[in-house]
Amino acid sequence: MKTGLAAALMFAPGLAGAAEIEFASKIDRVTVYPDGAVVTRLGRASLLEGVSQIVLRGLPASIDPASIRVEAQGDGAFSIGAVDVRQVPGEARPALDQVLESKIRALQGEKAKLSGEVSATEAKRATIENFGRIGPDKLGPDGKALPVADWPAVFDAIGTALVKVQGELLSLRNRIADLDAEIAALEKARPVAPRASQPKRDVAIAVEAKAPVAADIAVSYRVSGASWLPVYEARLSTGSATGGAEIAFTRRAELRQRTGEDWSEVAVELSTTRSAQGTRAPELSPLRIAFYEPPALYEERARAAAAKQEAERAARAPALAIAPAPAAPEPVAGTPKQAEVQTASLSAGAYQASFKVPGRVSIPQDGSSKAVILTEGKVKPELSARATPELEEKAYLEASFLHEDEAPLLAGEVYLHRDGAYIGKGRLGQVAPGDKVELGFGADDRLKVSRAPVRRRENDSGWLGSTRTDQREFRTVVKSLHAQPVRLTVIERVPFSENSAITVELLQQTTPPTEKQVGDKRGVSAWSFELAPGAQKEIRLAYRIKYPGDREVVFDQPRR
């Protein structure tokens, strides 16, 4: 008879006297969130008759005790009681190899002695060199000139002494170099003392059985220090006269973890839910307006209000923490298919999406990246070009398509390729199912863009009460060298004013825009049109600014 039980998380005393059973478990599956992970460990335990404790040792200190869940089943009846979480200190550093350390210290002492001999020998050489600088006319008795016949002997003596000293220095330095190499080799052989390890947590699970039971137990808990980031790849084939454009779009995930646990050959599921963020929208407090009061009175009232809030907070009952239900284990199935790209299976709900990574994955605990492919497919995009000639006299190719997957595209980097060539790296914002994806694929060299000022008129009247005007006109020309029609959008801007004393008006020379305001950008307009092969389009922009003659104006870009 098998019994299935799920333990609600309880913390209760009275476990100290129970027999402890070491629970040898292995991480079987991990659900990774953008800001954390839920780890599930599996193991088998032989339960004793009566009350005992199953103990998992050395779990990360970052686990959330409120998230611990226990599920178990066995070949007999048993019950699960309290779950006790204990914090234990990190492991002590291993003892040093005393023989090795003594040898290193002896070699370092010998090196220090030789370094002293080097200093003394260098001083000796300096004395000899200084003696050699004294002329023979002062080397005789009482500082008189030395007989010329004795000069060769003096030269030979100085030379011999210098050669001898130089040989001594070379020998000493060679010996020091040998000592350095020997010390380095011993230090390399020295056992690496790890950093002071972080505290760990032990989890003790109280069980009671009327007879010995063999039980299969699953323990899950949430840890921080793990995350995944979306990374995308878009490969655009612009097509030809007979075939249309196509984008091969790949969604990847980069996983990293520094939880302190070994994730080796585990089943991985990625969730789009951010588990560490708030669960409700933030509360908006009322905004009151009042007359200014002196600081002393204001601070006194603020202290009284803070004391009242603290009393109310202390009177509230503590909230209960409810652990999330663990994910059901998924059988790992699948026959490997040669020369096929394995992608994750998608499970999309009303509020979240998850990806089950095929097979089993090993993710190192050093924070290095592990990349997996989530989805891969091909879409038919709409191609167009966009130019902002005021900033750059170039047109850029853009491709857009509807995102029709069930799961949203989270914000992340996208690697862009055009007709087999790597264009660069862009950024993709979050895209919901059914929304449009817009990607840029680099400069379009077959569209020539030029922009030039046509005229500028400005009167400098500074008389009180007079009006100053500034009139500007620009001409933009776009020419297509493509063999097929091209859809193009040109973006221009006109200054806007929030001061009634400054007016800005478009002049009749301006080519009417197809979009007077682009999104929420005031003063930014767009001209969209289709260019035939070899055709060109001219856009004129003219405006006049009026403001008081005794004032100066500045142009700035307001923060959005």
pLDDT tens digits, residue range 436-445? Answer: 999 999 999 9
Which neighbouring-strand residues pair with 297?
none
Which neighbouring-strand residues pair with 31?
38, 269
| Angle at alpha carbon of residue 124, lines to 121 and 126, rounded to 5° | 115
pLDDT at 328 over 60: no
pLDDT of residue 325: 37
On average, the pLDDT of the chain sits at 80
Q: Which CATH architecture has domain 98-189?
A: Orthogonal Bundle (1.10)
Least Cα distance to 226 among 385, 60, 350, 471 occurs for 60
Segment 279-306 mean pLDDT? 65
For residue 320, name the pLDDT band (cuts at 50, 70, 90): very low
The pair phi, psi for residue 21, each rounded to 5°, is -115, 115
Alpha-carbon span 273 to 394, nearest angstrom: 41
**Tokens for 375?**
């989805």
Alpha-carbon span 537 to 200, nearest angstrom: 70
- Count the residues in the chain: 560
The answer to whether 481 touches 534, Cβ cutoff 8 Å, is yes
The answer to whether 207 touches 55, Cβ cutoff 8 Å, is no
**Which one is predicted more confidently, 253 or 150?**
253
Alpha-carbon span 50 to 30, nearest angstrom: 33
pLDDT at 106 over 80: yes
Alpha-carbon span 270 to 256, nearest angstrom: 12
For residue 7, name the pLDDT band (cuts at 50, 70, 90): very low
Domain boundaries, the chain: 3-93+196-224, 98-189, 447-548
| Sign of the CA dihedral running 350, 351, 355, 356 | negative
The pair phi, psi for residue 150, each rounded to 5°, is -90, -10
SS3 (DSSP) at 285: coil
pLDDT at 351 over 80: no
**Which one is predicted more confidently, 150 or 406?**
406
Alpha-carbon span 146 to 154, nearest angstrom: 10
Of 22-31, 33-42, 349-358, the least confident? 349-358
Of 41-55, 81-95, 201-215, 328-342, the least confident? 328-342
Of 23-27, 209-213, 333-337, 543-547, the least confident? 333-337
**Tokens for 374?**
């989530």
| pTM across the whole model | 0.62
Which neighbouring-strand residues pair with 214?
46
SS3 (DSSP) at 172: helix
Which amino acid is present at 535? A
pLDDT of residue 398: 93
| Angle at alpha carbon of residue 434, lines to 433 and 435, rounded to 5° | 95
pLDDT at 463 over 60: no
HSE-CB for 326 with a 13 A CA cutoff:
29
Rounded to a whole number, what is the distance in angstroms from the first to the last CA of the chain? 67
For residue 140, name the pLDDT band (cuts at 50, 70, 90): low
pLDDT at 293 over 90: no
Segment 269-280 mean pLDDT? 74
Alpha-carbon span 324 to 525, nearest angstrom: 50
Which secondary structure element, helix H or strand E, spans residue 503, and what is its range? Answer: strand 503-506
Which neighbouring-strand residues pair with 254?
229, 371
pLDDT of residue 57: 87
Which ranges of 24-150 would DSSP assign to H, the alpha helix? 98-132
SS3 (DSSP) at 85: strand
**Tokens for 416?**
């862009």
Least Cα distance to 553 among 497, 505, 507, 474 occurs for 497
The residue to which tokens 């599921």 are assigned: 269
